[in-house]
Amino acid sequence: MSTVKRRKGKSRIAFPKDYCVVDIETTGLSPEECEIIEIAAVRYRNGVKSEVFNTLIKPQNPISAFITGLTGITNDMVNDAPDISEAIKAFYDFAGNDMLMGYNVNFDINFLYDNLLRCHGIYLENDFVDVLRFARKVLPLMPDRKQTSVAAHYGIEIKGAHRAEKDCEICNACYIHLREEMRRLETEK
């Protein structure tokens, strides 16, 4: 369990019209010990996809067979990719002041925050929305609320999941369905 106190943005329960969905792929679960190997961010304006940022990242250590099996990202694919310092700054510049959104987004935010601070001394202070929180509220009886399970529940195509840009698109589709269900539940009260 991490004891790092982060000066990150606030987690919001909100339905923004303008936001940036983010997703990363990593070599493991710990921001202190593992590396980011892919970052994607998809900007939405008034609910419409307007711009995409996507980059592979060359890690300092080889990508394990397990991670390659999960993500499809190979060591050959990242050979000529930028290092984390260049990639994280490009992501930061792309995201600007946008509200960030993701699925179990604290995982992504912590990796992005730690790497941005380590590489550039910059705090990632964007507020963020976690779509998983909506899934827990709207779908309490589902056996699990993994993004792919929620997507399957709504008939959202999941082919290509576990690649960052595709996961951003899946997350946004889940967000739209969950937002509509939450609004419907509120009007029924």
- What does the pLDDT read at residue 189? 73
Three-state SS string over the chain comes to: CCCCCCCCCCEECCCCCCEEEEEEEECCCCCCCCCEEEEEEEEEECCEEEEEEEEECCCCCCCCHHHHHHHCCCHHHHCCCCCHHHHHHHHHHHHCCCCEEECCHHHHHHHHHHHHHHHHCCCCCCCEEEHHHHHHHHCCCCCCCCHHHHHHHCCCCCCCCCCHHHHHHHHHHHHHHHHHHHHHHHHHC
Does the pLDDT of residue 4 top 70, yes or no?
no
Proportion of the chain above pLDDT 90, given as a percent: 92
What positions carry a catalytic annotation?
162
In tens, the pLDDT along 76-113 reads 999 999 999 999 999 999 999 999 999 999 999 999 99
Does the pLDDT of residue 124 top 90, yes or no?
yes
